[in-house]
Structure 1
Amino acid sequence: MKLSRARLALVIGLAGALLLVAVIVSPMLLISMPSFLSDGGASVDCADSTQVEEVSDSGTSDIPGEYLDLYKEYGQKIGVQWNILAAVGKRETDHGRSNLPGVKSGTNSAGAAGPMQFLISTWGGKARMPMSSTINGYASDGDGDGVGDVYNPADAILGAAKMLKRNGAPENVRQALFVYNRAWWYVDQVVEIARKYAKSGEVKVPPQATEECDDPLVEAAPSDIVAKILEFALAQRGKPYLWGGTGPDAFDCSGVIYAAYRAAGLSIPRTTFTQWPFGVKVLEGDEQPGDLVFFNAGPGTSAGSPGHVGLVVSKGKMLEARCRLCGPIKVTSYQARDNRVGFTRPLQNPAVLDQLKKLQNSSL
């Protein structure tokens, strides 16, 4: 089973305001995003990446203890592969050990600074930013001192994790690395280092991250009906958000879910406001693929009347059409959202149970 995918739309929203981090040794000039995102022929491990990858012997011997702890802590907190963070740190400044300009003070010839080599403009405009001020960039306070210091390893590594996350990691980690420094040779080098740092020798991505990993995700569905729902929903990734859209070319958050259930032969309410009371409530931790997860988001919404919904595709992950400026339909983490309201199971609604019986009888 091979699911279609509108891959080109993955780059929507990356143009224009994308932020560049330069490499110390060979800083790259800003170039336009290519019309496709090459994977360089790299293999993908479809194992779940929710657990921290074990460190290889070479990783333990090469990465300073302080840095290793930070890579692990912020990789897990933000939701990106720690060994990718570590590989960026190695490629950029040898984990802060480089004595080249811009690592410990000032900037290099490209204007990059700190152990993770942020452009000062990408960081927020100044090398040291009070976190109480409005920041347009990745300045972060990893050590809790109230200042985002580009030269501070804790701050810089946290900022790098956020940048990778925003641009596609952990699912589309190669895309995220390309945005970090726009050269595929750089991406290849970082991925190779990351593999050496992991005991498994792999860069693990969530099962739903790529087309190559969709088959095991769908096959793990709790029922044939849920498998049909997931198959349709995952095939819509990359399509644009459109308020009121129910396909086939664009969807809004509830529209893609409505269409996915319809593709499985089931009818559920069309809008988020009507989908919320329709399904049977499910306790957090008991949710499963095919369930819906709701958020207190959008104008005129509240905890009792959520305005945004996603489709659970695996533990901690959902497919969502978020907003027009948020990029295309994609798989994201719902565990990272603090405005989560709750979960429901439309398949347990009495009306849907009747529909399921009719579908079963018609197939006999």
Structure 2
Amino acid sequence: MNRTRAVVAAVVAGVLVLLLAIISPMLMTSIPSIIGSGGELPDCTDDGAGVQEASDSAAADIPSEYLKLYKEHGEKLGVQWTILAAVGKRETDHGRSTLPGVKSGTNYAGAAGPMQFLISTWGGRARIPVSSRFNGYASDGDGDGVGDVYNPADAILGAAKMLKRNGAPENVRRALFVYNRAWWYVDQVEEIARKYAESGEVEVPPEADDACDEPLVEAAPSDVVAKILGFALDQRGKPYLWGGTGPDAFDCSGIIYAAYRHAGLSIPRTTFGQWPFGVKIQQGDEQPGDLVFFDSGPGTGPDRPGHVGLVVSKGKMVEARCRLCGPIKVTSYEGRDKIVGFTRPLQNPDVQGQLAKLGDPAL
């Protein structure tokens, strides 16, 4: 009797093991989609790339060859194709934009191609042979051995790699923020992606980056600040040059020195001199014309910042960052690590005296 019970128990155990072997993979397959439904992914996407069908809006708005590439490279890399497509829409309207840098050259920020890569991020050249030793985002999406930033097949694959490396598909908002460091950009891309998945009229809203708009200069708190900002913004697109003070190239402190000089004011030339010169300002109280300083690595630190930008609006600065970082442009300092602090050179006593001679009210 005991032997019979033992045999029955063994048979039952064996059946249970067999059932678990069959069911477990099914459960594991379904778990990511269950978890993903409550995570950071937008409602328009799923955990797997290439699964979400294109809505009528997507099919109508996205050129067929681009739609194929978004789906193909998204599935290959494990990135939501709707997010890839939304980036392409936000950046260049899927390559249809006629602005500089889309078909050739670069725009004022140094970006190129349908997915708007900085040439330095792409690999230092617009067209570059792709090899296993290459560390940039230049990609060969059409199998010709060359990563061409202007080729949609290459550019879309490169964009998928960049999003994947920085958190997609699980943390797509972080990945998008790294792609273009502005939360308004992240929100707009997700909204476009949602419409590509669900349907709805797809329109690209205007950029929320009003630091690039000339009305910013008109709204400056004084004529002197307007002159400072106007000069600095006019230098966008020019290259970085260590020690440069213009007119053709600048370094980080050189463009600020030149902008103040353009307004008739004299301040120290270098970052190390500019940091102690201005009156310290608490973060959150900064205004256009102020300076934001950063710890930039070896030889610099909290008491000796090595990099500086000119504040043009809350969260935005004109920056000449480095030789491989692209040309002078407006960037975001919100969310940037290693901020040392802010100063207001216009409140330095020497500058106050200069302002008095210029007849400009003290700030």
Q: TM-score, normalised by structure 2?
A: 0.53
The structure with more radius of gyration: 2
Q: Given the alignment of the two structures, is residue 252 of structure 1 paired with residue 277 of structure 2, yes or no?
A: no
Q: Given the alignment of the two structures, is residue 227 of structure 1 paired with residue 204 of structure 2, yes or no?
A: no
* Alignment-derived partner of residue 175 in structure 2: 159
Does structure 2 conserve the Cα–Cα contact (< 8 Å) formed by 1:317 and 1:334?
Answer: yes
Q: Given the alignment of the two structures, is residue 205 of structure 1 paired with residue 170 of structure 2, yes or no?
A: no
In structure 2, C-alpha distance between the alignment counterparts of 1:271 and 1:308, rounded to whole Å = 9
Does structure 1 conserve the Cα–Cα contact (< 8 Å) formed by 2:245 and 2:254?
Answer: yes
In structure 2, C-alpha distance between the alignment counterparts of 1:196 and 1:67, rounded to whole Å = 26
1:18-75 C-alpha deviation (Å, 9 max, x unpaired): xxxxxxxxxxxxxxxxxxxxxxxxxxxxxxxxxxxxxxxxxxxxxxx95996359xxx
Matches within 5 A, 1:1-364: 66=37, 70-71=41-42, 107=76, 113-116=78-81, 137-140=162-165, 142=167, 153-155=169-171, 158-165=174-181, 170=185, 196=201, 202-209=205-212, 213-214=213-214, 216-360=215-359
Seen in structure 2, the aligned counterparts of structure 1 residues 346 and 101 have a Cα distance that, compared at 3 Å, is closer
Seen in structure 2, the aligned counterparts of structure 1 residues 195 and 164 have a Cα distance that, compared at 3 Å, is farther
1:196 deviates by 3.8
In structure 2, C-alpha distance between the alignment counterparts of 1:70 and 1:250, rounded to whole Å = 42
Query: Which amino acid is 1:260 matched to?
Result: A
1:282-305 C-alpha deviation (Å, 9 max, x unpaired): 011100000000001143111110
Greater RCO structure (CA 8 Å; 6+ sep): 1
Is the partner of 1:251 in helix, strand or coil?
coil
Query: Which amino acid is 2:164 matched to?
Result: A
Is the partner of 2:330 in helix, strand or coil?
strand
Query: Which amino acid is 2:335 matched to?
Result: A
Query: Which amino acid is 1:219 matched to?
Result: E
Seen in structure 2, the aligned counterparts of structure 1 residues 356 and 160 have a Cα distance that, compared at 3 Å, is closer
In structure 1, C-alpha distance between the alignment counterparts of 2:216 and 2:200, rounded to whole Å = 24
1:219 deviates by 1.1
Does structure 2 conserve the Cα–Cα contact (< 8 Å) formed by 1:195 and 1:202?
Answer: no
Unaligned runs of 5+ in 1: 1-64, 73-86, 94-99, 125-135, 143-149, 178-188
In structure 1, C-alpha distance between the alignment counterparts of 2:247 and 2:344, rounded to whole Å = 24
| Number of aligned residues | 228
Seen in structure 2, the aligned counterparts of structure 1 residues 115 and 279 have a Cα distance that, compared at 3 Å, is same
1:118-172 C-alpha deviation (Å, 9 max, x unpaired): 7xx9599xxxxxxxxxxx8543575xxxxxxx6xx32456435533559xx959x
Seen in structure 2, the aligned counterparts of structure 1 residues 71 and 267 have a Cα distance that, compared at 3 Å, is farther
Over the aligned positions, Cα root-mean-square deviation in angstroms equals 4.3
* Alignment-derived partner of residue 118 in structure 2: none
In structure 2, C-alpha distance between the alignment counterparts of 1:113 and 1:205, rounded to whole Å = 30
In structure 2, C-alpha distance between the alignment counterparts of 1:235 and 1:247, rounded to whole Å = 12
* Alignment-derived partner of residue 26 in structure 1: none
Seen in structure 2, the aligned counterparts of structure 1 residues 230 and 195 have a Cα distance that, compared at 3 Å, is farther
In structure 1, C-alpha distance between the alignment counterparts of 2:252 and 2:80, rounded to whole Å = 39
Seen in structure 2, the aligned counterparts of structure 1 residues 115 and 329 have a Cα distance that, compared at 3 Å, is same
1:235-280 C-alpha deviation (Å, 9 max, x unpaired): 0010000000000000000000000000000000000000000000
1:205 deviates by 2.7
> Among the aligned pairs, what percent are the same residue?
56
- Higher helix share goes to which structure? 2
Seen in structure 2, the aligned counterparts of structure 1 residues 328 and 170 have a Cα distance that, compared at 3 Å, is farther
In structure 1, C-alpha distance between the alignment counterparts of 2:305 and 2:201, rounded to whole Å = 44
1:322 deviates by 0.4
Seen in structure 2, the aligned counterparts of structure 1 residues 195 and 320 have a Cα distance that, compared at 3 Å, is farther
Is the partner of 1:281 in helix, strand or coil?
strand
Does structure 1 conserve the Cα–Cα contact (< 8 Å) formed by 2:40 and 2:173?
Answer: no
Q: TM-score, normalised by structure 1?
A: 0.53
Does structure 1 conserve the Cα–Cα contact (< 8 Å) formed by 2:41 and 2:171?
Answer: no
